Structure 1
Amino acid sequence: MRQKAVPDMHPKSIAIRDFTYLLPEDRIAKYPLPERDSSKLLIYKEGKIKEDIYRNIDQHLPPDSLLLFNDTKVVEARLLFQKPTGASIEVFCLEPHPMYRDITTAMSQQTRVTWMCLIGGASKWKSGQLLAKQIPWGDSSIVLQARYLEKIKDSFAIELSWTPTSLSFAEVLHIAGIIPLPPYIKRSAELSDATRYQTIYAHTAGSVAAPTAGLHFTPALFERLDAKNILRNYVTLHVGAGTFQPVKSDNMDGHEMHAEFIDVPAALIQQLIDYADRHITVVGTTTLRTVESLYWLGVKTILFPALPPEELVINQWDAYELEASPITVQEALTSLLRYMEKQQWERLITKTRLLITPGYTIRLPKALVTNFHQPQSTLLLLVAAFAGEQWKSIYEYALEHEFRFLSYGDGCLLFR
């Protein structure tokens, strides 16, 4: 494998303690504002900070530019069961078992499916034991069963089966499950969360967390963007529970990024080639990770043209250890399209573990729309990679000026 020499300060050596700040509990938004686009918007450009609201974001984006969103849809991933003894068991559906090629295939399964899950009360549930629950559904009901198969690393393989067997797993979750609010929103999910913890353009079911930067957009705001000829398009990255996983190691070398599925059509990759020298704004850290992963996937098809399709994935440190310095965005994405044509793929469906930290060179977007993230998180590292050392003054300003933080909070528009 061609590699470049590891620099003196490899991102593996980054100390997470350098990426923290004091976040008071009362600054964490427990509920969204009544109107999505009335949230405050911090704009950071050329070293200067100013304020507005999301309703006016079109005024801060250049005309004839490209605005990219993540159209993943949050699934009702929390399933509650009760043992005959009365003990409660929570099954949190993380991702499909590796036997399935992608989330869409697993979500469309009928009769039964095997899913990787977190288990609340796992010590009360023995391997092979069957749990069941009955859920009212119209004039009838759904019977859902869960069988503990095995523990794999830090999650559990659970076989879920149901009647009526004509229902897909996505439909079963929608009827039987509960929206999984982030752990820092310390309240139970309410009926309104089924709508508000979902973007208005959510399309492809598969996430256990919302791409929250997109929660602020409304149909009226889309009309204003259209009037300015700001083109919209969508990628898909299914957000996993790893997005909330704190960095527990002192250095990033000890932190494992969880793989997340991405799904991108060939036409979108061609559009990125067309806009590579123009202005691209990405909405959300997940969208940023997706488009940057596309670049590295293209690099891999150049460096390893005979790479088997199952190995066309992005690992955690690929961006820091592959030799890509002479490879442009256009070259990488063009090579990726040729690889896809050879495989007769109209869509690219694969996994990424890309970790974006200070020291990473952003290739595609010139601006990022994102919420304010937890201290000592990989999402904060990504913001620091995009905004540089100024991330500290951005967050200090937000704290001093009553911005609301995290998933249901306010956000910012950062120009690179």
Structure 2
Amino acid sequence: MNPSLELSQFNYELPQELIAQFPAAQRVESRLLHLDASSALHDRQFIDLPSLLRPNDLLVFNDTRVIKARLLGQKASGGKVEVLVERITDTNRVLAHVKASKSPKPGGTLILANAFAVTVIGREGELFELEFPESVLDLLDQYGATPLPPYIEHAAENEDDERYQTVYAREPGAVAAPTAGLHFDEAMLATLASQGINQAFVTLHVGAGTFQPVRTQNLADHIMHAERYRVPAETVAKIKATRAAGGRVVAIGTTSVRALESAARDATDTNQDGPFEGDTRLFITPGYVFSWVDALLTNFHLPQSTLLMLVSALAGMEPIQRAYAHAVQSRYRFFSYGDAMFIESSKQ
């Protein structure tokens, strides 16, 4: 990492009213800001995406599924608690964030959703290990709420249960959506396939840490949160075939980037073809040399966030600063339910 990088270099002014609170009426109806390989900007619509891709390009999607990870309840003493499951570690155990006036102690009991009790086993850093009385996924599905990001001001509604989920989600475990994928519907996926544009999948279970601010001014001092990922051997084979055919690997979302680049490191170290899986703390900042990713479809990211640093690494700091200033001036919609950006690496 470049030791001179400072947090203040990744700031921008965002009017509050540009933070999208609800999704577009239809998934494909968002706008698309195109930053091409020469760093020129183009205002487009998301439905223009197929025209920006080429036969033999490979789109890599994150197929994680958002779980209903938020639960309200109370301690045995009656004090209110809010539980946000961060990671399911076993059939009936989780690591979770617990908000309470006083932290619960090991051996304590939490009554959640006025329906069932969980036992506090212990702590791992900021997270609490909780034991559920039966299958975590079953109880969350029945009693939990979709964990919308902190900048979305309404409580999760039925529409959010559907729209804060990609149409291809299949591996439950995320507590935040891989939001670039929210723009795709089945018709768009079929259109892309009909053009000879290939598709592959990775899994990265997005954690709540994706919303945590960077608290160190020198980026070299930042400790990245861990997220679980898996890149199947089939996806690795498709990446190699794409490269051999002169196509590009286009990551759909920054989570796909982190999974792919984490796997690429493992592939280099072990000279294997996958599958690759584990926890990743990969922190991508300007100066990073990408191994597998040539282009990226993504949403707009929070000021001073690790995701803004990642897109700056792919496109360059000045082009991203210019793109974000243009997006603010042109009233693009920001963050999870907002508009999209297609970034072609200047190093192609």
Q: Specify if TM > 0.5.
A: yes
Question: Would the alpha carbon gap of residues 31 and 160 (structure 1) be closer, same or farther in structure 2, given more than 3 Å must change?
Answer: same
Structure 1 SS opposite 2:133: strand
2:44 equivalent to 1:52: yes
Q: Percent identity?
A: 38
Q: 1:6-405 to 2 correspondence within 5 Å?
A: 10-45=1-36, 46-83=38-75, 86-97=78-89, 106=90, 109=91, 113-121=92-100, 123=102, 125-133=104-112, 143-162=115-134, 168-276=135-243, 277-301=246-270, 335-337=271-273, 347-388=275-316, 389-405=318-334
Cα distance in 1 between the residues matched to 2:34 and 2:113:
49
Cα distance in 2 between the residues matched to 1:261 and 1:148:
23
Structure 2 SS opposite 1:392: helix
Matched to 1:369, the amino acid is: L
The count of residues paired between Structure 1 and Structure 2 equals 341
Match of 1:308 in 2: none
Structure 2 SS opposite 1:80: strand
Cα distance in 2 between the residues matched to 1:196 and 1:376:
26
Whether the aligned pair in 2 keeps the contact of 1:262 and 1:352 (CA below 8 Å) is yes
Task: Give the aligned CA root-mean-square deviation in angstroms.
Answer: 1.6
Cα distance in 1 between the residues matched to 2:94 and 2:77:
25
Match of 1:344 in 2: none
Cα distance in 1 between the residues matched to 2:105 and 2:257:
41
Where in structure 1 are there 5+ consecutive unaligned residues?
1-9, 98-105, 136-142, 163-167, 302-334, 341-346
Cα distance in 1 between the residues matched to 2:95 and 2:101:
13
Task: Tell me by how many angstroms 1:69 deviates.
Answer: 0.5
TM-score by length of 1: 0.79
Whether the aligned pair in 2 keeps the contact of 1:64 and 1:228 (CA below 8 Å) is no
TM-score by length of 2: 0.94
Matched to 1:178, the amino acid is: A
The 10-residue stretch of structure 1 (84-93 or 209-218) with the greater mean CA deviation from structure 2: 84-93
Cα distance in 1 between the residues matched to 2:48 and 2:306:
29
Task: Tell me by how many angstroms 1:12 deviates.
Answer: 4.2
Matched to 2:41, the amino acid is: I
